[in-house]
A and B are shown apart, each in its own frame.
Chain A
């Protein structure tokens, strides 16, 4: 439920700058006879406590260090002194005379203990990710997708959900700083104004603004006003994981920048060229929703879409492919050309030298596409070269897909530019000394700019450099002014999703620190009396809606819904620009002629699936989130195909040096089945040096070898040399073979049609009568879950949802390496088939199965895990003594143990994040999934008060709620009409390890794939 109430506008900041000298002085003077009084004073001084926290930070990420040390001398004295001080205070002081006042009048909407939800949005790569934020008594605790918004429909990506952790990041910049000294916003705005005045005289010739991609109509309007006021100023944009190739491809094909959106609900045949469209990209959630809807074989459905993927490195999307073809990245132009030629698209000619297997798959895909005119679509991945995008547009047009499965609209970005060129131009201007004032609004170009731009060197030629940033980063070190950027949950702004729908993002909490938004910084430049971002955004929309009957009603409705109605772009009829086709076709043919020779290594860059371009590097949830397929945490690696690793004579964990044009980076090897031969895939976003306590030094920075000259996404020539060193990667899964066990069950569509209950036949469920004990009786509710393996895309969204909902701790790389990760739900991957280079890949989300005959319950000596009245295996955390017998006896190994006090040493600010409805577990206690029992109980209380039964769908587990593929369904299996009961009656339903007679409440729907029979035969 969303609330139309807008939180009050934030008042003037109250945090004072910290006087370090005075604080040190206080610390110094607290010795000797003044000891007691001094400590009391110190303890009572908020600013001093902040100072202490900064001076003696506790490292959240390196458990290994702190725990191995255990009780360091310093910590001993810290604690000893603190407890002495506390004892002293309790004994000698009177409580301060401060009145607290309870609510005289309960604020409307706020009920203690009842969370509220507000619609808002975050941006990723500039695009809005619509969200609902849950707020407990004024503090946001969890992010979920906005069900009203077409780009979300209630689901959210792992990254979007984890961004709440950044709000409470103790490493955030807390006050404006100038040359690393603490300053105030007022001082900053005065200085900025003065600089702007000087620029005004020059027409802004020395003023430059650097942003990421901007879709915010308000920000764009401010920037345009700025450019009007300073006509010679320039606005540059840069996203390290940007979509330059997509934009350029559209311009090539249509002569203008158009945005491409796919209607996968209408697509019978999808061909993806190195596109991980289900998991990454601005519209992935909606794509996953639509795509999975076409794959869900329930209610007697026997038709499903077919997906062909040609990928250089396996992706979650690739795991869903019905026909997956590994192909080296440099061969994609040839694949596009071949596909066009097979389809008879004018201008496309069959390229020579395409691998025979690939050619056969291309031919089969083309045949399929042709047979489903108007219901086929070709999708190209963001990093693939622009001519391939252009080719896809031409093919889609030839297939009659435009207007059906492909929707072309105006771009969501306010100013689509080639960002690589834009950044290069800025660097050149800076180097030439033409820039006097640079505003870096967000971003971290010193870290993520292509290294051949030598951005940091150029930056130092600018006399005044201002950086708006949420936390000090690599760029901050090169800037005079660093202004804390408000987190999106603290700020007013707006942004467009890919389809153009605008969300006016509202804050849920006043800025925790002195955070400001880009709107406010620009307002200082533009206006004599700078406005708050609330006013900036609201005034913009008031102007936009001039003439509308009731602006306040519009405003409140937009905030409530999390979207501005009618802002989605209309489909734009566009036909490929035939005249320009010759040029890009020539480019395409040229690229197709440059396929890497077998044995010639090429390097392919991808943003990390979890920490993205490095901006989430200080986010422990994401660092510890196992990367899809590789299951690597806290690291990046040089990903190689088994055959390639064999040829090069390297083993997993061997550190190798990748050299491109004389620059190099050294990474450990990871051998990935399904990887295309001769391709080294490397994720960037690692090796941050100024990220914070969590992100510093995690993984390897590959910036040295990521250059504009050699290629930002694909480097054709790379040398790989073993260093002889080893570096252990911490993975959450090490064994990917099923060993002939029927853990994941799958069939082809043809097999499924012939034998819909194939999955059940692979196992043997003992009859109820075989037990000595009578079955338990469940009067009202009996909870159960059904997981559809056919639709699960393995995107990790459920893992983050669970982590946020259930206060699951982060344990760090060393502990993950010791197999002690704490995730209650995990995504298992299994490889199937004889072909190491192209196996079938299965995903399986696995959490506690809530067995009817639970092996864990019997063996717990103290009854800490017991069978609940509604069939759950309930955990009494404070009864657990930690024998770990339950985990040993759990065949699914769904239990997690607190080997250390993983929740100790938390910064106070991080404690605000915890969900108050879930116990934070202490050291030595076993924990596990209980189907979000807190949500069950909340619904039960509501239902009881209203004197009704719980409605089907009223309770949704955190994993279910956020699943973009709707693969997880929870409900009451006692109710035959419940969605989950119906799913459990589906013939595909099976139990994992049913022969053990555990009778799990979680059942799985077997995976069904729809491979092209022509290719199967060969």
Chain B
């Protein structure tokens, strides 16, 4: 595999690189994409088996860690008083943030008619669902009594007790569950035409039955397409505010609190930008290896990578601004607790984590200004991984570092992660990867009909995209 992809040699320097490699017709697109899914079980590539085995192994680590957690208590983690939340909520926010790229790509870019999104939106949406699944577990796992999460729902029951609607955690319940539902519906609805294609291409009876059931009788009639387009637009409209609201509400978990380092008005926009930042980094992390492995270089071109890098650069700058404002406000407010919090981040016992965070999220992404870097797969992947790490550290710094030193110095204590913290987090990565591997093997990774619309044939008779 070459480390750089070919520089487009268009005569017009302003002309953009294509989003679909030349020479494709609707037929070849379908063949290329559906072929990945409908191939025989025996022909499952070795790398998939290996990758799936590793991911599934990690998933079992999660099973082990969670079993232990449920049997003995939160104490298997390193959480303590004052650090009541640590890796649990850090990872929750991290996963929720990762999901955002999918929604942004599928909803906002759809509304903005950015056709370059077509080849990555399915994948990004899937990533959203899987990330939200990982995220959604944490609020339940982190409960002292994890068998009672339904007490957070407004269920009229014999307890005659209502949740406390003043608590941001209740807002979270609504925000995250809405987000998960809409994302799932959006993803599924968007997949119906492609499921029908798979139904038609499948050779095995079982596959035809499964894909056929999932395709809900899609025949590709004009009426179907008309309804489909309307539904997609409506769902995109519904999803768009979610991109902004979910992470805003997640940020309220902190900004409603009075802990120095939490109680900040900049959090909602800063969290949203951070989420998109992290989400695109995760898309790149996954797409870059899949491109050569699945032979999708024709569909996910350098143009996509360039665009995603640019989005990362932009949101990265917003995040950097957020850090700056945090520090400025801590100083400008004249609030001694806020100012101490800031000084503690820079010089306290967690200075290393804060320094790494700045390096990962501010310094390293600046390399993306350089086109050579944006065009280098290895560089791009490395930067994406660095951003993944940086965004996890960001939440760690906000949550753990702020809690470890708040108001009354006698309580101050450090947080020390245990192996169960690590296992739980690694386990959710296992869950995420397992779902991703299953997805790339059994569902259309790319949106076939939208890709078909990018072929020259389709372009001559454009339909609504």
Contact = CB atoms under 8 A, between A and B. Distances in A.
B143 A924 contact: yes
B412 interface: yes
Q: Which of A67, A883, A888, A924 gathers most chain B CB within 10 Å?
A: A888
Interface stretch (B65-73, B113-121, B240-248, B422-430): B65-73
Given A858-B167, A888-B257, A735 B409 contact: yes
Interface string A863-906: 10000000000000001111111011101110111111100000
Contacts of A739: 340, 409
A820 B80 CA distance: 6
B403 A888 contact: yes
Contacts of A920: none
Nearest to A901: B73
6 contacts: A67-B72, A741-B407, A885-B253, A887-B84, A888-B259, A892-B408
Interface in B46-86: 68, 71-76, 78-85
A824 to B, nearest CB: 12
Interface stretch (B158-166, B298-306, B363-371): B158-166
Interface string B321-340: 00000000000000011001
Given A815-B75, A897-B144, A862 B408 contact: no
A584 interface: no
Contact of A741 (B80, B85, B336): B336
A876 to B, nearest CB: 9
A883 B142 contact: yes
Interface of A: 67, 70-71, 733-741, 743, 815, 818-820, 826, 828-830, 844, 846, 855, 858-863, 879-885, 887-889, 891-893, 895-901, 922-926, 992-993, 996
A71 B71 CA distance: 8
- Size bracket of the B interface: 35 or more
Contacts of A846: 408, 410
A58 to B, nearest CB: 15
A885 B169 contact: yes
Contacts of A993: 407-408
A429 to B, nearest CB: 53
Given A740-B336, A859-B168, A926-B144, 4 more contacts: A819-B413, A859-B167, A898-B73, A924-B73
B87 to A, nearest CB: 13
A884 B408 contact: no
A869 to B, nearest CB: 18
Contact of B409 (A737, A879, A895, A901): A737
A738 B336 CA distance: 12
Contact of B164 (A740, A861, A882): A861
B409 A741 contact: yes
Contact of A734 (B73, B81, B148, B412): B412
B285 to A, nearest CB: 31
B411 interface: yes
A137 B403 CA distance: 45
Nearest to A996: B258
Interface string B137-170: 0000011111011011000000001111011111
- Which 6 A-B pairs give the minimum distances between C-beta atoms? A882-B144, A924-B144, A899-B75, A884-B84, A828-B410, A861-B169
A861 B411 CA distance: 24
Interface of B: 68, 71-76, 78-85, 142-146, 148-149, 151-152, 161-164, 166-170, 173, 253, 256-259, 336-337, 340, 403, 405-413, 416
A863 B154 CA distance: 12
A859 B262 CA distance: 14
Nearest to A631: B410
A899 B73 contact: yes
Contacts of B412: 734-735
Q: Which of A738, A815, A859, A922 gathers most chain B CB within 10 Å?
A: A859
A897 B73 CA distance: 11
A893 B408 contact: yes
A891 B144 contact: no
A425 to B, nearest CB: 49
Contacts of B149: 881
A828 to B, nearest CB: 4
> In terms of DSSP, what is the predominant structure of the interface of chain A?
loop
A878 to B, nearest CB: 10
Contacts of B144: 880-884, 897-899, 923-926
B20 to A, nearest CB: 48
Contacts of B162: 863
Contacts of A898: 73, 144
Contacts of A819: 80-83, 413
Q: Which of B73, B162, B163 gathers most chain A CB within 10 Å?
A: B73
Contacts of A855: 257-258
A739 B339 CA distance: 12
Contacts of A734: 412-413
Nearest to B68: A70
Given A735-B410, A859-B257, A882 B143 contact: yes
B161 A893 contact: no
Contact of A743 (B84, B152, B409): B409
A888 B404 CA distance: 10
A881 B75 contact: no
A682 B167 CA distance: 50
Contacts of B257: 855, 859, 885, 888-889
Contacts of A828: 408, 410
Contacts of A737: 409
Contacts of B163: 861-863
Contacts of B169: 859, 861, 883, 885
Q: Which of B79, B410, B412, B413 gathers most chain A CB within 10 Å?
A: B410
B152 A858 contact: no
A926 B79 CA distance: 13
A737 to B, nearest CB: 6
Contacts of B259: 888-889
B75 A883 contact: no
Given A733-B410, A828-B410, A924-B144, A881 B152 contact: yes
A480 B144 CA distance: 50
Contacts of B73: 67, 898-901, 923-924
Contacts of A925: 144-145
B402 to A, nearest CB: 9
B78 to A, nearest CB: 7
Contacts of A882: 74, 143-145
Contacts of B336: 740-741
Q: Which of B144, B162, B403, B408 gathers most chain A CB within 10 Å?
A: B408
A860 B162 CA distance: 12
Contacts of B84: 884-885, 887-888, 897
Q: Which of B81, B146, B259 gathers most chain A CB within 10 Å?
A: B81
B85 A888 contact: yes
A884 B161 contact: no
Nearest to B84: A884
Nearest to A69: B72
B408 A743 contact: yes
B338 to A, nearest CB: 12
Nearest to A811: B75
B407 A861 contact: no
B163 to A, nearest CB: 6
A432 B129 CA distance: 85
B166 A884 contact: no
